[in-house]
A and B are shown apart, each in its own frame.
Chain A
Amino acid sequence: MGFLDISHVTKSYGQVQVLHEVDIAVQEGEFLVLVGPSGCGKSTLLNMIAGLEAISSGDIAIKGRVINGVHPSKRNIAMVFQSYALYPNMTVGQNMTFGLEMHGVPKPARDAALADVAKLLQIDHLLDRKPGQLSGGQRQRVAMGRALVRNPDVFLFDEPLSNLDAKLRVDMRTEIKKLHQKLKTTIVYVTHDQIEAMTLSTRIAVMNKGYVQQLGTPKEIYDTPANLFVATFMGSPAMNILPATVVMEGGQPHAEITDADGARRLLRFSQGNLAEWADKPILLGIRPEAITDPEGADRKSANIQPLANRVTVTEPAGSDTFVTMTLSGKDVIARMRADAMVAPGEVFDFAINMDKAVAFDPATEARIPQ
């Protein structure tokens, strides 16, 4: 049993079921990120934890106490909203202590808590301003401060960084991570941004169409995605997915694909158990960073397969150069070192790290266990 238990939770609006049997046990101090495309049910789940939406069936419990019917203010949770939801008519200080005031905390105690949190977030000098006079980053801090002041059991974050510009978003991301490391609070964080999910979380729940597709650490999610959806949703640029056939050569399973000229090519799998799939179609998944120039290949890998192929497009991005080629009729993106010498139209010797390759069952889209 966890600190925050979500067991068999479903949500329906009339006939439409938007969440199916969600089971997540969040441990104390954990940073759980719910990630998925819009409409996947992640915000609904967060609102149900908050008490802003009713639970259709199943239970949510905090510290062993079922809170299904408990009013949001009695759950000992705090939430940071996407729009920050700062009360426009109150000063920053009043905003942050409004919750304590509503809970009947006496003024001296409120002021003390406010001073602590303001210092922690370095917003002491803003306490007398109105939200309208703050910058985006400052509002974000105040919104977090309002949650921190309450000292709740669980913090809920609803896409808190999506209203910030790109640079500030990265800064605030680091800040939230620091704060979590320092305070060891339990956090449930909703985002549609897979980079936020990867960087912040201790565990990620990837959601789609009302189902939790996979629950695991960032590394598990990235390296061993449960299915095609998780594989393509997490990671940028997305994982390359190629139709392939498993063929046996010298007793080893190989992926049979075609290159830009339509010629048949074989890539040896590192995993022997794919022998069961001999002569069957699969979907081969290779992340862009597993396709490099030979010098840039991962030295720890035991299985680098060379592949000469024609280059279609190169996109230098400063730190890396992305190179596009065609394999099995699909555009495939490779991630090179910035100084790799590649030109469009030429035939280049790619190195593919097959240790990192994954295979999916085309029928179920589930990953074939290796």
Chain B
Amino acid sequence: MAAVTQDTAVSTGRVTRTFLYVVLGVFALFYLLPLYVMGVNSVKPLAEITGGNMMALPRVWTLEPWRAAWSTAQIGIEPTGLRPYFLNSILMVVPAVAISTVLGALNGYVLTKWRFRGDTIVFGLMLFSCFIPFQIVLIPMALVLGKLGLAGSVPGLVMVHVVYGIGFTTLYYRNYYASFPTELVRAAMMDGAGFFQIFWRIMLPVSGPITVVSVIWQFTNIWNDFLFGASFGGTSQPMTVALNNLVQSSTGVKEYNVHFAGAILAALPTLFVYIVAGRYFVRGLMAGSVKG
């Protein structure tokens, strides 16, 4: 994609510029506010929330809500905290991201460098799978997972996420490899390199940027998924489902501070990834939406 270097800026007066900064600033507050509210209220005792101002800084700082959210809060019927569910999410995300990325890389390689009759149709069918409402596959998937003995298990969720992630990873790698000169593949072919040697020695070494994109995208999507987790999680529910259970539980006093701490815990891995590699993330979103 085009380098982000040139401005389409027009010359503007001082009044206009002040207006621009004010609007941009207000929106920055709008985007930050919920995060601030969550953060500030997750380190307050409950009494301060129910009795005080949600915008105010804590009078008494406490990490108790975080400890509770992590290890003792009531999730469903068990007072386990979010810890085991966090672990479930990790166990689900890592293999699902790895497998779908590897498959996407190979698919993109085949679809751009080893084109065959009908390859665009194959790609079109894979691409459309990114956009289906997953409600359309919930019922048969539940039956198939049951038949395979994977219902309610982490491997079952891994399978589901790999299946519905292939479309995205294939899209990313295909668009990336499409701009990779085919003459290099031909040169390698004449040099005597085979299908996998070309992939391994020529393509992979230059696939760093798109691999970052694909991994971030898949990680975010799978970590944040709720529908599949709620439908097929069973006893291996991921973090999002557990957070929802925690927040929606109708028994006892609503411990808002614990809920906020839990919400931040659920958001931390993706936020961390976003902060570390956000630039690539944006570029990746573009690759998925702009013609490649």
Q: Which residues of A contact B (CB under 8 A)?
A: 50-52, 72-73, 77-79, 81-83, 85-89, 98-99, 102-103, 146, 150
CA distance A73 to B184 in the complex (A): 14
Inter-subunit contact A82/B183 (CB<8 Å)? yes
Interface string of B182-214 (1 = CB under 8 A from A): 011011111111000100011001100000000
Who on chain B is nearest to A88 by CB? B206
B181 close to A (CB within 8 Å): yes
Identify which of residues 161-189 in chain B touch chain A, using a CB-to-CB cut-off of 8 Å: 181, 183-184, 186-189
Asked if A103 meets B192 with Cβ closer than 8 Å, knowing A88-B206, A89-B206, the reply is: yes
A-B contact count (CB 8 A): 56
Which residues of chain A are within 8 angstroms of B192 by Cβ–Cβ distance?
73, 99, 102-103
Q: Which residues of B contact A (CB under 8 A)?
A: 181, 183-184, 186-193, 197, 201-202, 205-206
Asked if A81 meets B188 with Cβ closer than 8 Å, knowing A98-B193, A102-B197, the reply is: no
Inter-subunit contact A98/B191 (CB<8 Å)? yes
Inter-subunit contact B190/A78 (CB<8 Å)? yes
Further pairs besides A83-B181, A103-B192, A146-B191: 14, Cβ < 8 Å: A52-B189, A72-B186, A73-B191, A73-B192, A79-B190, A85-B186, A85-B187, A87-B201, A89-B205, A98-B188, A99-B191, A99-B192, A102-B191, A146-B187
Which residues of chain A are within 8 angstroms of B186 by Cβ–Cβ distance?
50, 52, 72, 79, 81, 85
30 A-B residue pairs with Cβ-Cβ distance under 8 Å, sorted by A, are: A50-B190, A51-B190, A52-B186, A52-B190, A72-B186, A73-B189, A73-B190, A77-B190, A78-B190, A79-B186, A79-B187, A79-B190, A81-B183, A81-B186, A85-B184, A85-B187, A87-B184, A87-B188, A87-B201, A87-B202, A88-B206, A89-B202, A89-B205, A89-B206, A98-B188, A98-B193, A102-B193, A102-B197, A103-B192, A146-B191
Which residues of chain B are within 8 angstroms of A77 by Cβ–Cβ distance?
190
* Nearest Cβ on chain B to A315's Cβ, whole angstroms: 39
Which residues of chain A are within 8 angstroms of B197 by Cβ–Cβ distance?
102
CA distance A150 to B187 in the complex (A): 13
CA distance A103 to B188 in the complex (A): 12
